[in-house]
Structure 1
Amino acid sequence: MNIGIANAAEVDQFWPAFASRLQIACDETGGDISSGDLWQMCRSGNAFLVLVLDDAGFKAALIMQFQKWTAKQVMRCMAIVGDDMASWLPAARDFIAQMAKDGGATSFIAEGREGWTRIFPAARRLRTTYEVELS
């Protein structure tokens, strides 16, 4: 299994392998960002596309972004998409943790639906987002 940061050409090469699934995930979490937005962020260098590949090809994609918060630098997970997470997540988590430390981040931030604590047992909840429909 190979894990690495995609260059601009690789972003374009691999994006079709997961773009539609990524858009479904974006829609399910409120639709405040789209697959196209994330693609532009990765193409422009405002975010990193981390690819997990095996001998058969694409396994997973993680879209990561360094952010400067008020008191610290964080590594924010913008999206994760892939199958058979148990087979690649431990190695991807180690890769991302090292990437974050190398970039000066002191913590990892992720938001989404319930279930993140299964993936990251040491995670603590910072906030919850609510939506109120207007009539």
Structure 2
Amino acid sequence: MQGNLTLKCDVYSFGVVILNIISGPRERTKPPLLSFAWDCWSQHKIENLLDSAMEEPEFGLLLALEKCVQIGLLCVQQLPDDRPTMSAVVTMLNSDDSEIYPPKMPISDDHSSTGSPSQAVFNDGGVQRDTVDLT
């Protein structure tokens, strides 16, 4: 299956950027970003995801960071139709009142099974579904 360029590709990239900003520089020994972000968010342990250079945040900031991680995870959903539009992302980021639906487990970002960083293995609950060439 070949990847298709859609309007939601920028949304996916934005989600990766948000998660990278929150988590800070990644060491090779850390788990892959999307998987680790999902685990931290789903277990309500966002503080484990945060950049180690960051001081321990106050409760209010921790809630805001959890919201940003949730939005980032929505942006990296496997299917483009499951990703929000950029206008919806902006609304979610700017609103304290907006209801944000929970994301599904994102695609796997572990490229070791394909041997190439230009390919991503789609993962649905731990079951490999398909490989898409992203180049």
TM-score, normalization: structure 2? 0.25
Which structure's residues are more often strand, by fraction?
1
TM-score, normalization: structure 1? 0.25
| Higher RCO (C-alpha under 8 Å, 6+ residues apart) | 2
